[in-house]
Amino acid sequence: MTVTEDAREATLALLAQRPPQATICPSEVARALAAAAGAPGGWREMMPAVHQAVDALLAEQRVQLSWKGQMLATRAGPYRIRTPD
């Protein structure tokens, strides 16, 4: 499995642990990946894979993005991830 595939699975797993409409931060996904890889301090290195995974999940309509309560059509700047309505 690639790091991007791991990021995809981690994103969906974290969302599944939250109540409906709750959001997660992409850094939460990166931190989970880094911890699983035994490098908890290296989470920033995981962010490109997280962004790629989120872009793919967004294209598949498996997730929605928002920032400060406003829905985002694409990933740009800071964002939060949630499952679709």
Task: Give the separation between CA 69 and CA 23, rounded to whole angstroms.
Answer: 10
**Mean pLDDT taken over the chain:** 95
Query: For residue 9, is pLDDT > 90?
Result: yes
Give the domain 3-82 fold.
Arc Repressor Mutant, subunit A (1.10.10)
Q: By percentage, how much of the chain surpasses pLDDT 90? A: 85
Q: Decide: 79 and 65 in contact? Cβ < 8 Å.
A: yes
**Residue range 19-50, pLDDT digits in tens:** 988 999 999 999 999 999 998 789 999 999 99
Task: Give the separation between CA 9 and CA 3, rounded to whole angstroms.
Answer: 10
Single-letter amino acid code for the residue at 27? S
Joined tokens for residue 70: 């406003």
